Structure 1
Amino acid sequence: MIIEKSQKLLFTTFSLLIFYNLLFSQKLEPKERIGHEPDHIISSEITKKEYLIHLSFPKNYSNRDTITYPVLYVLDGKSTHRYFNSSYIDFEKTENVILVGISHKVNGMESRINRFNDYTAYRDTISDRKFEKKFGLEKGTIKTGGADNFLECIKKEIVPFIDKHYKTNSDRGISGHSLGGLFTAYCFLSSDNYFTRFGINSPSFQLNEEIFLEPAIIKFTNNQKWDIKPTKVFISTGEDESPEMVSNMVKFSLHLKKRNYENIDMNWRIYRNETHASVIPSSLNGTLITIYGKE
């Protein structure tokens, strides 16, 4: 009887090993990147836009084992992916995580226009006209308020593509800077537990101050409980960014920290002597260490 049980256990174990080997052998191997070339280009049926995907993998990532990894989706990956495997990131202090940079395929002004649309949660015609005037664009060129569609694109097109081709698990985070930070804050405020780790860096709260920031603060003030899964949040800005950006980030962070939600582990930081552009690698490193830090 004991021998029979042992044989069944061995058969089950062997079958599982075969299954996992077949499963992971169908996954893609990491590419050797040439310059700034993306790993993939995804055409979205939802947003009608094309997105570049830049990937970074843990050092020991291999299809020859059964290990799966959490994933951090980083917005504006075209400009940030050069920091993914650089000396700016202290990987000795973080868990193994796959980094997935997402950015628009178009460049220059077209990219700006797409960012204003994808990364903003509400239509803000005042901001639309303001930035059209600033960039010398025709009226109606900039249309804010496409965040719902972009988030649907991430959930239904980009994440399933990454999950299909790489060794991921359901532990997902999202991080962004500037307008990307605003979008990440929107994902956090409307959390359905799809993402449980958030890097909200240099968020452009000034765009939607009355229709996003102020309601967020009211939510933190009035709601004593927030029924979401255990969640980690990192919020940051550079000391030398615009006074409005710094003060809004501090206002958001202090109200969230003060509420002290039981299931939200939140930290925030102002980086000394850093501008809106120079703070990017520091805030990415801070995001990784804070929300993926080794225990």
Structure 2
Amino acid sequence: MRFLISLLFVFTVAISEASASVSSALDKVTIGENFIIHSEIIGEDRPISVYIPKGVNTGDSLYVIYLLDSEHHFHTVTGIVQSLVDYEQIPKTMVVGIQTTNRPRDYLPKINGEPQTKFQTFVKSKWPDSGQDKFLKFLNDELFPYIDKNYTTYPHRTIIGHSNGGTLALSALFERPELFNNYLAISANGWWSYDEIIQNSKKLIESNRPKQKLFISVAGEGSQFYTGTLELLTNMERNKPVNLDWKFEHYPERTHMSGILPAITSGLEYLYADVNFKITPELAKYANISVVKSYYSDLSKQFGFTVSAPVDIYVEFAEQQQMNLREEEALKTLEQFVRDYPEHSYAHMKLAQGYAKVKKFNQSYEGFVQALNLAKQQKKETNIIDALQDMVNQAQTKL
């Protein structure tokens, strides 16, 4: 994590100093793009930032993270997302950052009737017009359609909110369940009265709600941040909605702001965990690739769109089958890998290596040649092409 913080610092320095002290012959380091969307619903311009991880191919469909308060958290979150995508801990996911213009107005629930807590009394006296309805409508009616029109996206959305932004994420879970699939609520302000907590938790058992996941955390703030979250989770446990899974983490040694770092990493890994098939020793010893195909078929039905098995799942499964001396089953796994990713040079290379293990040298040679040709057509890096050429040459000596 210290390395990640250092890396983000380097990026920030590179961006700020590029125009002043770096030769014009060098490219500037930039992270994402910024643009303005005018909201007719809110009646103002809304600054938006978008980040697509490096390594995403043109036409790849992306899961979408909507990040609140992006003017504070954009670099932190995009750095973590890039690392998690690189190591296939989460699928290819873009970040849409929404900058703040009026936090109380946009993030805090509207107070109906008399205030029930000291915090509600304070908010109603200071911001009598607060209420999230217009902001949530802006997301659904204006921002979501813009992103889906201009980027290749899956109909799968995650919201990340910190502090009052975390309160908005929880409110969306209770009041507008159709907006998001995943919720990452970090140190949400203790807002509701106890009666309201009970009412909100009961809303989660409605049968028409979609399948959703929640990661909720608090740091060492104490007070309503901690007790309010525990009261909410206790009542959710009592009602136990079948269509919502959640995980709670407490970071007592962290501050209100530093608690963001572990929550983002752990939260995203948890929220997207279903996308990564878990290969147990029993499956490696007895099962075949059909269990993986069945898993992603069921997940696709649950999500409402086709979810493909990640590349590394095929490789890991085949390697574990090989460790159990199941070479033929490993070959079937790698053959399925090629069928599912026919334009992926890595798939052909792994299958060629599998053929070599069982001394099917003609098929191994053909596989390496196919991997090399694809790499050349797709203009892969020189070192990749050189490595594949060496593999072809070595395979040819076995013929």
Pick aligned residue for 1:115 from 103, 111, 122: 103
Q: Secondary structure at the match of 1:51?
A: strand
How do 1:108-257 residues align onto structure 2 when only pairs under 5 Å count?
111=101, 114-123=102-111, 127=119, 130=122, 142-206=127-191, 209-210=192-193, 214-220=195-201, 225-238=206-219, 240-257=220-237
Q: Percent identity?
A: 22
Aligned to 2:334: none
Q: CA deviation at 1:243?
A: 2.0
Which AA in structure 2 matches 1:277? M
TM-score, normalised to structure 1's length? 0.72
Q: CA deviation at 1:262?
A: 1.4
CA gap of 1:33–1:76, structure 2 versus 1, over 3 A, is farther
Aligned to 2:93: 97
Question: Cα deviation per residue 1:45-71 (whole Å; 9 max; x = unaligned)?
Answer: 1112332212222332232x3x21111
Instruction: Give, in whole Å, the separation in 2 of the partners of 1:244 and 1:72.
Output: 27
Cα contact 1:72–1:172 (8 A) shared by 2: yes
Instruction: Give, in whole Å, the separation in 2 of the partners of 1:85 and 1:219.
Output: 32
Which AA in structure 2 matches 1:94? I
CA gap of 1:277–1:89, structure 2 versus 1, over 3 A, is farther
Q: CA deviation at 1:234?
A: 0.8
Instruction: Give, in whole Å, the separation in 2 of the partners of 1:236 and 1:73.
Output: 18
The answer to which structure has the higher helix fraction is 2
Instruction: Say whether residues 1:277 and 2:257 are aligned partners.
Output: yes
Pick aligned residue for 1:75 from 68, 79, 84: 68
CA gap of 1:98–1:89, structure 2 versus 1, over 3 A, is closer
Q: Secondary structure at the match of 1:153?
A: helix
Instruction: Give, in whole Å, the separation in 2 of the partners of 1:49 and 1:123.
Output: 23
Question: Cα deviation per residue 1:144-180 (whole Å; 9 max; x = unaligned)?
Answer: 5330000000111111111111111211121201110
Which AA in structure 2 matches 1:250? L
CA gap of 1:89–1:234, structure 2 versus 1, over 3 A, is farther
Cα contact 1:76–1:180 (8 A) shared by 2: yes
Q: CA deviation at 1:128?
A: 7.6
**Bigger relative contact order, structure 1 or 2 (CA pairs below 8 A, ≥6 apart):** 1
Q: Secondary structure at the match of 1:268?
A: strand
Cα contact 2:64–2:94 (8 A) shared by 1: yes
Which AA in structure 2 matches 1:118? D
CA gap of 1:222–1:147, structure 2 versus 1, over 3 A, is closer
Which AA in structure 2 matches 1:227? N
Q: Secondary structure at the match of 1:99?
A: strand
Cα contact 1:128–1:144 (8 A) shared by 2: no
Q: Secondary structure at the match of 2:214?
A: strand
Cα contact 1:174–1:184 (8 A) shared by 2: yes
What is the root-mean-square deviation in Å for CA atoms of aligned residues? 2.8
Q: Which has the larger radius of gyration?
A: 2
| Consecutive unaligned residues in structure 2, runs of 5 or more | 1-27, 278-399
Number of equivalent positions: 241
Cα contact 1:189–1:216 (8 A) shared by 2: no
Cα contact 2:174–2:200 (8 A) shared by 1: no
CA gap of 1:103–1:147, structure 2 versus 1, over 3 A, is same
CA gap of 1:224–1:70, structure 2 versus 1, over 3 A, is closer
TM-score, normalised to structure 2's length? 0.55
Q: Secondary structure at the match of 1:187?
A: helix
Cα contact 2:217–2:249 (8 A) shared by 1: yes
Q: Which deviates further from its counterpart, 261-270 or 88-97?
A: 88-97
Which AA in structure 2 matches 1:130? F
Pick aligned residue for 2:50 from 51, 55, 60: 55
Instruction: Give, in whole Å, the separation in 2 of the partners of 1:88 and 1:34.
Output: 16
Question: Cα deviation per residue 1:158-210 (whole Å; 9 max; x = unaligned)?
Answer: 1111111111121112120111011111100013423111112111123xx22
